[in-house]
Structure 1
Amino acid sequence: MKKETGINFFEKYLTVWVILCMIGGTLIGKYIPQIPTALGKLEYANISMPIAVLIWLIIYPMMLKIDFKSIVGATKNVKGLTITTSMNWLIKPFTMYAIAVLFLKGVFGGLIPTELADEYITGAVLLGAAPCTAMVFVWSKLTKGDTAYTLVQVAVNDLILLVAFVPIVGFLLGVSNVTVPYATLFLSVVLFVVTPLVAAWVTRKSVVAHKGLDYLENTFIKKFDKSTMTGLLLTLIIIFSFQGDKLLTNPMDIALIAVPLTIQTFLIFIIAYLWAKKWGMPHEIASPGAMIGASNFFELAVAVAIALFGINSGVTLATVVGLLVEVPVMLILVKISNSTRKYFKAKEATV
Structure 2
Amino acid sequence: MISKSAILYFIAFILATHLAFGQKKNYQIDAVAFYNLENLFDPADDPNKDDEEFTPDGSNHYTEKIYRRKLHNLATVLSQIAIDKVPDGPAFFGVSEIENEKVLQDLIQEPELKDRKLRIVHFESPDLRGIDVGFLYNPKFFKVLNAMPIKVDISRNGSNEFTRDVLYVEGLLNGDTVHVMVNHWPSRLGGESASMWKRKLAASVCKNKADSILKQRPGAKIIIMGDLNDDPISPSVAQVIGAQEKDKAMKSGHFFNPWIAYYKKGIGTLGYNDSWNLFDQIILSNGFIKPEKETWQFYIAEIFNRPFMKTQSGQYAGYPHRSFSNGNWIDGYSDHFPTYVYLIKEISQPNSNQSIMEKP
State TM-score, norm by structure 2. 0.31
Q: Per residue, is there more helix in 1 or in 2?
A: 1
Q: Per residue, is there more strand in 1 or in 2?
A: 2
Higher alpha-carbon Rg: 2
Higher relative contact order (CA 8 A, sep 6+): 1
State TM-score, norm by structure 1. 0.32
